[in-house]
A and B are shown apart, each in its own frame.
Chain A
């Protein structure tokens, strides 16, 4: 019982530590390092497996002490390694200029792995030490992890991350104490538990306080004399810092006209994780000092609508809400994800902001923007999407890997569905050069309008419902729930002319009107609008140098503009600074990927040693898992089969694990999840050993081809080469998730009468089945060129002739679980009950696992 508690605690601590690291990375550097942390965790855990292979026997003899030592090392390393890692002069922005940064990154990576290694070893050791209790230990591991994840999120509301770090370290000591107590030690546990508190508190605060990179907005703002942080809020959504700059006013008004002399009044800045500036503007109820709000490009919709009921998505400090108030919007709904920002603006600085969210015509909704719109039955005249990210972050591409569900086709459709007739959706984005965001947004809007099946009039040509305006660094897109009228267009043009903004599209616009005040080398935005609205859209999207395909809910990566085809050309322009156009998020993750592979791939000598011991090289598994996960993150055009031979022992369990990791640690879209699942399963099917007699070449082919998809639409011809080996007629990419069962199936067909197929590290014994002598009552179409069975097998309802021996039976506990896993997966694919699967796929048989 005490051991279970120790495992639970350690597991909770390590998950909490991982979540904390992502938070600390977000504060000090940028959020894309969170992905690096995930691969870190895998590296540490993977390495612990290899470690255990070597030391298990010795350690098991003194299990309690070993567990305690490892847990204590976790407690020490969690803080110590972190403090050391943060002393490295790593600057991700410099990666494209300075090769030394790669070493700093690698060093940081290796420095942060030991805590995971220690915790992984301790938990692995306990599984090895108490084989009888393996289920209970695993359960406490999982419940501990769940509790840890939940606990740390709650703790982050109350405590700054550095204090959370101390708690996590202390838990390591407490876990050690429980482990010793479970092993029958008398005084040591108490001593350890007592030490825990001072051990965690002893670290100097200056070592642990996360210091934002000097190149982040907050750090830069704080170099200005007299600027100081006047309030700070910690939470799982990020650390909020409110700054005041009395001598040098903030004057934050993105998209402000160059023609105006008006400037914002006093402002307070709110930085989230040291970046992404949002402002709170002094408001006393007097609108006179707020004239600048009418000079921003975001004021455009208020010139086309009269006192609109407005919805502001991403309200932050309230700049857009204030703009709506200034334009006398009849009602304003403000949606903000982070409750703490709303509280700051309304309570602590309520006096300053004029209690902006407490005004009768304003309501604040703490919700995620998409979720709020989807769940609301209201309709608005104007839906305004605020500029949420900082200009620097946008330009540097640090958002390239983050999901933005608010800029997808489906999102735009949802906004349109919540508009009153003739209402507007207004989206403002930073204008990059070469244009990326704005062109992508325009393409997204067209796609949304064409697919619009809601209440809005879909028979109108999308071009009649769109308008685009830009200044020198921002652009605003309007999407109307109806046609733009002549008056509206006249208003739009005069709004633009007075403020020296350029029109890039409105219905009926001529090319000579574009690119006038704020010029690009060519009128790219207008040209893009024309091309996207014309018949050559697909070609334009495909040929554009940056990735401007509209984002969808399944792939909500709006900020992914970089295409790999650009890389060679930009690399050739390295000396000119060409690489700055590669989104840095990508660059750093590519480096992390390379290092993950290098760091986690065991060296050949060790692998041979391990092989000689006839044990599995657990460490090797983490490499393909990291590869898979990161490959999926980037959507690398990887051929799955390229993983097959170089990285050998990929078991299905490791694939399942990577799937679990991916599921647990990132918010993947459903389809992406499915896709990843496919890859994992395919990999598992391909990486295993299809049969002892198959030589390598044919085995690889088998991996490619013998995974017949179960969906009738996917035809996978498979032919038998000889009786022991499967060889497809031509190599096939692994296409479908049901690879495992399907491979068993194919082999069944091709090895008539035989019954053993190796899968993973275990063997799967398969009864007689397949085409030969089998009635075809199968959901897939397998053509058997060489054999007797050449008919399509789909939908044949003939009863099975084979006896009860048919089916899959599996020996060994782990393989049994895996088999069941595959079985359920196939069932899910076919949308059937796992227990009824054998009726549809007789070749699989009932899940008769022993």
Chain B
């Protein structure tokens, strides 16, 4: 397959959708691939990956702690550590975790630079326990 434009990053899209024309499996590329990767890392629990318990974060467990600014602070630290440890493609700018006690969720705003890109990327994550 001849690619006219070379992608810097290209990854398997875990939604496993098909390209409408060729029927090939869809790719997520460049910024999209990195954002997905960051998201995957944050939502992976420790001991979820075989033989590598250290990969991932402890976030889903923290969501069952009493909802408070203190827990929000822990969540922020956890997100920072996870990205710094396992995603070498990004330079983390800031992580802000806001508490919404009445709605029973946290809202995380993560902003970072992808290496060798000037445009910062901001992603919003809503962290809410499901059961």
- Do chains A and B stick together as partners? no
